[in-house]
Chains A and B, each alone.
Chain A
Amino acid sequence: MARLTIDDLKRMRDAAAPTLTLRTGTARARITVHMGTCGIAAGARDVMAALLREIESQGISDVIVAASGCAGLCSQEPMATVEVRSMAPVKYANLTPERMSAVLQQHVLRGEIVAEFALGAGCETTG
């Protein structure tokens, strides 16, 4: 990557926005699997692998899959946050590969929240 100037920083910020907020991009949904040490110890890698496998086998191309850090509630890892365009983000807890693919089918593809595995909707409060 080239050395940045201050103007580049602003440009990069605007350019990266579509991958972080769905509003400006073309993707239908963004799934963030929380991969802190706690998440990985609880099986987040299996969840992530299952998710990628499902997405590939079904030929889904408009879903962003991202990794991120611990979501804070370590006792209920593995967790994932599912954001579908124009819907509040939903955090899922205590996931397994099977549950993750159920969430993909029902929430991401059909737009129905899987209430059984959902922890809550919305984002956390930042300062």
Chain B
Amino acid sequence: MAHRSHVLVCAGTGCVSCGSFQLGMALEREIQKHRLDAEVQVVRTGCQGFCAEGPVLIVQPDEVFYCGLKEKDVPLLVQEHLLKGRPVSKLMYMPPAAAAPVPTLSRIPFFAKQKLVVLRNRGLIDPERIEDYIARDGYSALARALTEMTADQIIQEIKLSGLRGRGGGGFPAGIKWATCRQAALHRSVEPILVCNADEGDPGAFMDRSIIESDPHAVIEGMIIGARAIGASQGFVYIRHEYPIARERLGKALVQARECGLLGQDILGTNFSFDIEIVQGAGAFVCGESTALMASLEGRVGEPRAKYIHTVEYGYKNQPTNLNNVETWANVPLIINRGAEWFASMGTGEVAENPWNGSSGTKVFSLVGKVNNTGLIEVPMGMSLREIIFDIGGGIPHGRRFKAVQTGGPSGGCLPESLLDMPVDFDSLTAAGSMMGSGGMIVMDDHTCMVDVARYFIAFLTEESCGKCTPCREGLRCSLDVLQRICDGTGEDGDLDLLEEMGGVMQDACLCALGTSAPNPVLSTLRYFRGEYEAHIRERRCPGGVCQALIHYEIVAEACDGCHACVNVCATGAITGQVKYLHLLNQDLCIKCGACIEACKRDAILRV
């Protein structure tokens, strides 16, 4: 029999810490007492967005919102509203008398479409106060993992959740943990735990923000991981350029140690584990697992071949489990709320095999030509269109969307035709890009895709460590060809050469920096080949970016001779009398674009 009424009890973090679980159980008991259980069902929901007045609940279909409930309110609520159908006004939320015309966050798409799991505490707690984190149920997952679960149970829970590495590779965390534990047991060597906070992608700031807003979540995840894998020593490898994140993490470690949550005999359970912060020196390649470990040991940060995995022989040849900041921050929630809850978000049936889909949420930094730049968290599988147009608010100045770059410099550019693609690990890889750590750069129609590819290849050329030839020479050679195309001296055959070189790099490079480096070129060639051809055959840059291929013109009909452009032109290329048509001397023009900005009548064109 269908229930006539549903009681939606908020089970978001805020309400849970105000006792919504106890409230739910009291409701169920009371409903049972009145023999209403066949008619009324109690449902636990995610956060309903009014944490300040929690615990809150909604009675459907009446749409009555109750807040600030206590267990002692339950008998009255059940008897009056659920039994007799009379809403209890003294328990309802009373909006302030003068309702101001301010929208609720749930009506602002930027907030409404997001689902905060990793970022659950963002903007709510003071990251420098462990008390705040504990007040939001912090370290309760650790208490559970230490007292109620065996190491194998923890690993099994992570496996069933389908959690895949958030640093870019998307390797299932449960499998990695199990392998590392096995290797350590097999060789009777102490395993090591590492948190990768060497976030280096241009335009990416997910990990920085997670550490800045909630450092204890990362620490708690690592302690749980250490318990599962059997480690007693851990490192956070964080880049030097993140001073605030580093400072807050350092304070958090001190607090956790003082509280006995790190160090010897954690929470009185005999388990010991401690974490040390190690600063990176600003090399992009040190985000790569083997290079990171070399750097941790104090050697030059260069990768090595990985036919022997770091989970077996990593830091100082000890079995080493490396996960990224966001991956660790997911762990406490999976332990607290269960694998099933985590797997219910995202795509695919991951319980049998984590490779079958992408569960949970993903944090993205949304930047570039998009109205709402910022840090967002969405369930896996949301379409690019929803992310860019609903959450991001579309493209500024009424321009057209052209491409979105995902996955950092080694990711790819995806065109408009793929906007409805779900964002998950496997769809992105199939489209020639990748999830990466979650940078998302939106580009409008004033972007030249050849120039974008040139920019990323130039970045990677700078950052290539130079150890293996395909990466070192392949990148340099690709950059030369791309530069030539941008300079207007591209030749037939250049595109074939780029493709061939990309293929060799994908096959032969030592580490993932090299094998994924051709992605910006190959993906733009795949989706924007016409633009490359326009550069080479027609000597034209459709995006109007490549300096050698554009020039400026004054539109005679529109120019009113206001002289604004003459005043800003640094080289005297524009001449003319006030109130008469101005002229532009192409030989003197350095194409700086100052005149376009100065002109109020759109009388200057970039062609």
B-binding residues in A (CB < 8 A): 1-6, 9, 12-13, 15-17, 19-24, 32, 34, 36-38, 40, 66-76, 79, 81, 83, 86-91, 111-113, 115, 118-127
Q: Complex formed: what's the CA distance from A6 to B260 in Å?
A: 11
Question: Would you call A71 and B120 a contact (CB within 8 A)?
Answer: no
Is there a chain A Cβ closer than 8 Å to B191's Cβ? no
> A57 CB to closest chain B CB, in angstroms?
24
> B348 CB to closest chain A CB, in angstroms?
18
Question: Would you call A22 and B105 a contact (CB within 8 A)?
Answer: no
Q: What residues of A have a CB within 8 angstroms of the CB of B124 in the complex?
A: 20, 32, 68, 123
Q: What residues of A have a CB within 8 angstroms of the CB of B102 in the complex?
A: 90, 113, 115, 118, 120-121
Q: Complex formed: what's the CA distance from A81 to B52 in Å?
A: 11
Q: Of all chain A residues, which has the CB nearest B373?
A: A75
Q: What residues of B have a CB within 8 angstroms of the CB of A9 in the complex?
A: 134, 139-140, 143, 267
Return the contact of A113 from the options B13, B100, B139, B375 (Cβ within 8 A). Answer: B100
What would be 23 A-B contacts, judged by CB atoms less than 8 Å apart? A4-B261, A12-B135, A16-B134, A20-B17, A23-B52, A24-B18, A32-B124, A37-B209, A37-B244, A69-B127, A69-B209, A69-B213, A73-B110, A112-B100, A120-B102, A122-B106, A123-B47, A123-B50, A123-B105, A124-B49, A125-B112, A126-B14, A127-B120
Q: What residues of A have a CB within 8 angstroms of the CB of B131 in the complex?
A: 12, 15-16, 19
Is there a chain A Cβ closer than 8 Å to B449's Cβ? no
Q: A13-B137, A34-B123, A75-B372 are in contact. Are A23 and B105 (CB under 8 A)?
A: no
> A39 CB to closest chain B CB, in angstroms?
10
> A76 CB to closest chain B CB, in angstroms?
8
Q: What residues of A have a CB within 8 angstroms of the CB of B116 in the complex?
A: 124-127
Is there a chain A Cβ closer than 8 Å to B126's Cβ? yes
Q: Complex formed: what's the CA distance from A3 to B260 in Å?
A: 4
Question: Would you call B115 and A125 a contact (CB within 8 A)?
Answer: yes
Q: Complex formed: what's the CA distance from A40 to B139 in Å?
A: 29
Question: Would you call B51 and A123 a contact (CB within 8 A)?
Answer: yes
Q: A67-B128, A70-B123, A125-B46 are in contact. Are A21 and B100 (CB under 8 A)?
A: no
Which label, helix, strand, loop or mixed, suits the secondary structure of the A interface?
mixed
Q: What residues of A have a CB within 8 angstroms of the CB of B140 in the complex?
A: 9, 13
Question: Would you call B127 and A91 a contact (CB within 8 A)?
Answer: no
Which label, helix, strand, loop or mixed, suits the secondary structure of the B interface?
loop
Question: Would you call A127 and B361 a contact (CB within 8 A)?
Answer: yes
Q: Complex formed: what's the CA distance from A6 to B255 in Å?
A: 16
Question: Would you call A86 and B213 a contact (CB within 8 A)?
Answer: no
Question: Would you call B132 and A70 a contact (CB within 8 A)?
Answer: no
Q: Complex formed: what's the CA distance from A30 to B107 in Å?
A: 23
Is there a chain A Cβ closer than 8 Å to B259's Cβ? yes
Question: Would you call A70 and B135 a contact (CB within 8 A)?
Answer: no
Is there a chain A Cβ closer than 8 Å to B493's Cβ? no
Return the contact of B105 from the options A38, A112, A124 (Cβ within 8 A). Answer: A124
Q: What residues of A have a CB within 8 angstroms of the CB of B139 in the complex?
A: 9
Return the contact of B126 from the options A1, A3, A17, A67 (Cβ within 8 A). Answer: A67
Question: Would you call B125 and A23 a contact (CB within 8 A)?
Answer: no
Question: Would you call B96 and A87 a contact (CB within 8 A)?
Answer: yes
Is there a chain A Cβ closer than 8 Å to B61's Cβ? no
Q: A20-B124, A20-B125, A23-B68 are in contact. List 10 more A-B contacts (CB 8 A).
A: A1-B259, A4-B260, A9-B143, A71-B123, A74-B375, A75-B373, A119-B108, A124-B111, A124-B122, A126-B12
Question: Would you call B122 and A68 a contact (CB within 8 A)?
Answer: yes
Question: Would you call A125 and B18 a contact (CB within 8 A)?
Answer: no
> B81 CB to closest chain A CB, in angstroms?
21
Question: Would you call B135 and A19 a contact (CB within 8 A)?
Answer: yes
Q: Complex formed: what's the CA distance from A73 to B370 in Å?
A: 12
Is there a chain A Cβ closer than 8 Å to B468's Cβ? no
> B390 CB to closest chain A CB, in angstroms?
14
Q: Complex formed: what's the CA distance from A74 to B96 in Å?
A: 29
Which chain B residues numbered 82 to 131 have a C-beta less than 8 Å away from chain A?
94-96, 98, 100-108, 110-112, 114-117, 119-128, 131
Question: Would you call B103 and A121 a contact (CB within 8 A)?
Answer: yes
Q: Of all chain A residues, which has the CB nearest B143?
A: A6
Q: What residues of B have a CB within 8 angstroms of the CB of A123 in the complex?
A: 14, 47, 49-52, 105, 124
Q: What residues of A have a CB within 8 angstroms of the CB of B98 in the complex?
A: 112
Interface centre among B51, B54, B205, B245 (most CB of A within 10 A): B51
Q: What residues of B have a CB within 8 angstroms of the CB of A15 in the complex?
A: 131
Proximity string of chain B (13-37) to chain A, C-beta cutoff 8 Å, 1 when within and 0 when not: 1100110000000000000000000
Q: Of all chain A residues, which has the CB nearest B127?
A: A69
Q: Complex formed: what's the CA distance from A16 to B578 in Å?
A: 70
Is there a chain A Cβ closer than 8 Å to B574's Cβ? no
Question: Would you call A69 and B17 a contact (CB within 8 A)?
Answer: no
A-B residue pairs, 7 tightest by C-beta: A69-B213, A3-B260, A16-B135, A113-B100, A126-B47, A127-B117, A122-B105
Q: Complex formed: what's the CA distance from A15 to B135 in Å?
A: 8
> B268 CB to closest chain A CB, in angstroms?
5
Which chain B residues numbered 204 to 256 have a C-beta less than 8 Å away from chain A?
205, 208-209, 212-214, 242, 244-245, 255
